[in-house]
Every structure is written in C-alpha cells, then in structure tokens.
Amino acid sequence: MTAAVGLGPLGPLTRALRAELVRFGGNRGPLVFAAIPIAIVMPLVVTFAIAAVAERFATMSSTIQVTSVQTSNSVYWVLIFGAMVWALIAATAQAGAARGAAGDLERYLFPRIWTVPAARWMAYGSLSAVSSFLLVTVVLLVLPTAFPTVYGAVSIGSPEGLRFLLTVPLYAFAACGIGVGVGAIIGQPVVTAAVLLGWAFVVENSIALVPKGYTLQGYMPFLNGQFGTGQELAFTPPWGLNGALFYTTIVALALFVLGCCLLRWRRRTR
C-alpha cells in the first residue's frame, strides 16, 4: 500500500492494472477459452491454410495462374482475428465488470471513474499488441520460407514488413480502446459483443452499398486502422496511412471518454 501511495495518481491505476491482469488470468469463463485460441491460433491456421492451398495450385499445373502475394497483403488474418478478438475481450470485460457486487467493490476501491477502464485498456491493449507483434513476426518469416512460389516476395525486412511490425501492435492497442469505450457506453456484455462485431464486420464493410457509401467508409475506425498498418484495402481514407492510424486512435480516445462520462452518470443516478 505504501509503494502504491508513493506513486501518487498512478498508484490506483497500477493497482487496477494488476487486479485486471489477475482477474483475466484467473478467469475460467467460456469467453477466454474461446477467444484466446481464436485470437492467437486462428490467424496462423487460416493464413497458412490459405497459403498451402495457393502454393499447391501454383505448383500442380501450369494452366492454373496464381497471383504472387506481396508483403502488404500478408497479415490480413492477424488484423481480422487477432486484433478484433482482443477488442471483444476488452469490451465484454468492461461491460460486465461494473455490474453487481463486483461493480460496487470496484467503485469503493477506485473512486476515480476513469481508473479501472484505463487499466483495462492498458491490460488488454498490451496483451493484444504483444500477441499481434509475435503473430506478424511468425507470418512474415514463415510465408516466404514455406510457400516460396506464391509468397516468395513477402519480406519481414521490407518497408512494408517493418511497418507491419510497428503499426499492427498500435492498431491492436487502439482497437482495445474502442472495445473498452463501447463496453462502458453499453454496459451489457451480450449487447456489447453484438454491437462491436456487427459494426466491425457488417456495417463497416456494407456501408459502401448505401448512397455516398464510399465516402462514409473512409470514416470507419476499424478499416482506417487496418489501412494505417499498410494492409491493402479496397478503399483509401482521406488522410493517408499515418493519418488513418491516428484517426482510429482518436476515435478510441473519444469513445473511452464518452464511456467514462456515462459511467459517472450511472454512478450518480444510483
């Protein structure tokens, strides 16, 4: 307690971060058992399965033409499964933690409304960033070695590969911030999960079909984050690679602040 107090305002945040990591590590719920394999194993399984099929077609017959894959299109499934599943974990953790006796204890231990949500963003964002970095490293090293016919041009040392190593963890961290913000705003785990998944996989991809949809798509936060990593996408936001990643981070911060404001309002109305 003395050490924590000595840290000043960071003392409660440090304790909350430690508590969240312990809570997550001790969680035996179905979300963790389902989400961790999907976030870590599934990106590798899907990436290498697709690569194996493409390599087989490319080498089995000269009549079948398979387009060579460049570095800028090699980590797509890490972005889809890895970052998004961690964002879902963060969102449902935030939505479910402020309810019942656990919520009352949290309010007593951490009077500042932003402390625990910030700790959750830091905890799950850091886990997401580390796992994303490792996944990108494995994918960029294995693809050109194991599947040289189709993925021989993929290189971890290329400008695109180095950008992925830096920006995919940043995007994964920002996505968890969006998750925490949405979880704080909605406050119901099931609804939070449905909204987050529906927005990321349905709204952002189908909005191009509505009038002026391509313009609206340029403002979608998850697509901006994916574009900002250097991943090839079918749209171009109005602010370029670095601007797109910055835009996603700003959206995450805005949702986080709005979520904290709603948490304060709920606390005062109880």
Tens-digit pLDDT profile for residues 40-83: 889 999 999 999 998 888 887 666 667 788 999 999 999 998 89
Beta carbons of 237 and 218 less than 8 angstroms apart? yes
Banded pLDDT at 174 (limits 50, 70, 90): very high
pLDDT at 18 exceeding the cut of 50: yes
pLDDT the model gives residue 106: 66
pLDDT the model gives residue 173: 97
pLDDT the model gives residue 169: 97
Number of residues assigned to the chain = 270
Q: For 161-180, b where at least 16 C-beta lie within 10 A, e where not — what string?
A: bebbbebbbbbbbbbbbbbb
Q: Pull the structure tokens for residue 112.
A: 């500042």
Q: What's the number of domains the chain is made of?
A: 1
pLDDT at 138 exceeding the cut of 60: yes
Range of the domain at 200: 2-269
Model confidence pLDDT, tens digit, residues 84-131 = 999 999 998 888 876 655 555 666 666 678 888 999 999 999 999 999
What would the DSSP string read from start to end of 56-84?
HHHHH-TTS--PPPPGGGS-HHIIIIIIH
pLDDT the model gives residue 109: 65
Model confidence pLDDT, tens digit, residues 196-233 = 999 999 999 898 888 887 888 889 999 999 999 999 88
pLDDT the model gives residue 1: 40
